[in-house]
Amino acid sequence: MTENPYQPSLATIEKIKVEVTGERAIKTFRLVMQDENVQKEFSFVPGQCVMISRLGKGESMFAISSSPTEKDYLEVSVMKQGKNTSALHEAEEGDTVGVRGPYGNHFDVEGWKNKNIVFIGGGIGMAPLRSIVNYTLATKNRDQYGNLDIIYGARTSNDLCFKDEFAELRLRDDVNVHLSIDVVEEGWKHFVGFVPSNLLKVNPPSENTIAITCGPPIMIKFVIQNLLELGYKDEQIYTTLEMRMKCGVGICGRCNIGNLYVCKDGPVFSNAQLKNLEGDM
Ligand SMILES: Cc1cc2nc3c(=O)[nH]c(=O)nc-3n(C[C@H](O)[C@H](O)[C@H](O)COP(=O)(O)OP(=O)(O)OC[C@H]3O[C@@H](n4cnc5c(N)ncnc54)[C@H](O)[C@@H]3O)c2cc1C
Ligand code: FES
């Protein structure tokens, strides 16, 4: 990438996939760097983020939702919120965006080898989890991890991201998918209720297991409470923080908690680390 930390590289939107329609619309953008060498050199680890700009509209941080095993592109999954995300949702295939990054720390995919992993997501919070799910399921990596369980929910079936991908995962016997929606819908065959309740129902054993949770703050709070109830230790529980960010590189001070910058020292933290930070939040 370029030496000026604020200078984006240009990427082309190669593919746009509509994940969720309506009020809480989500689209996945497949981006390819316009400079072949930049694309070749672009490497990241699941959990890391990028700043994406739509020229003249603004810049926002997004988790990379594709797996680093896909070398030819990166993907971000974006929920329409305000100015920049709306401008992204209006973009078309072939349009140009700016990309800075990758930024931040990441999930410890090396340190978690030989462990079971439980992925617990809500709504757009599945975006960073999709990266590590697909990384651990990649043919060259799968036998390096134990049991993989995905517990994922959204308000309605329309609000579930990556629906067709989950349908494919449900056909595999080396990963368990547990979907939920908040309220009853005709034809829904999976769990009805909030994600933390589905977690208790699935009851994934805590021994030799890492739990990663991403989603709305209220969901994360009750997921962590329930994981502790199921016998997980603070060191086995990981989440990502989504503080407001501006520079993304530890310069502006927009995202600090105490003396930590979430953009640089995070966004991935264990519950043990979060407990230490509690006084500063
Ligand atoms: C580390 C990190 C990872 C993220 N990953 C993703 C992702 O994978 N997919 C995704 O859709 N979004 C993600 N976000 C949130 C995304 O950056 C914001 O939604 C986006 O910046 C909003 O920009 P905007 O100009 O459209 O909205 P604005 O016009 O700035 O604001 C519109 C609304 O969005 C809210 N908002 C703005 N910024 C944030 C923020 N950082 N966190 C929560 N609410 C915010 C505002 O309160 C307001 O209600 C992430 C944020 C961070 C910090
Ligand atoms: S966003 Fe500027 S210091 Fe983190």
In a domain, 76, yes or no: yes
Same domain, 63 and 129: no
Residue 111 lies in a domain: no
Asked whether residue 166 falls in the same domain as residue 138, the answer is yes
**CATH number, domain at 192?**
3.40.50.80
pTM: 0.95
- For residue 131, the enclosing domain spans 116-240
Task: Give the ligand 1 atom nearest the CA of 104.
Answer: 1
Q: Do residue 183 and residue 152 come from a single domain? A: yes
* Confidence band, pLDDT 50/70/90 cuts, at residue 83: very high
Residue 1 domain-assigned (yes or no):
no
Token code pair at residue 171 = 């056909």
CATH number for the domain harbouring residue 250: 2.10.240
DSSP string covering 235-260, please? Answer: GGEEEE-----SSSSSSS-TTEETTE
Q: Does residue 109 form part of some domain?
A: no
Q: Do residues 200 and 275 both lie within one domain?
A: no
The pick from 18, 28, 60, 64 for probing ligand 1's pocket by mutation, whose C-beta has the most ligand atoms within 8 angstroms, reads 60
Q: Which of 84, 74, 92 is nearest to 16 (CA)?
A: 92
Low-confidence winner among 1-15, 85-99, 141-155, 200-214 (lowest mean pLDDT): 1-15
For residue 107, how far is its CA from the centre of ligand 2 (angstroms)? 20
Tens of pLDDT along 178-208?
A: 999 999 999 999 999 999 999 999 999 999 9
Taking the C-alpha atoms of residue 164 and residue 156, their distance in angstroms, rounded to an integer, is 16
Do 230 and 256 share a structural domain? no
Residue nearest to atom 37 of ligand 1 (CA): 244
Q: Which of 49, 244, 254 to mutate to test the pocket of ligand 2 (most atoms within 8 A of CB)?
A: 254
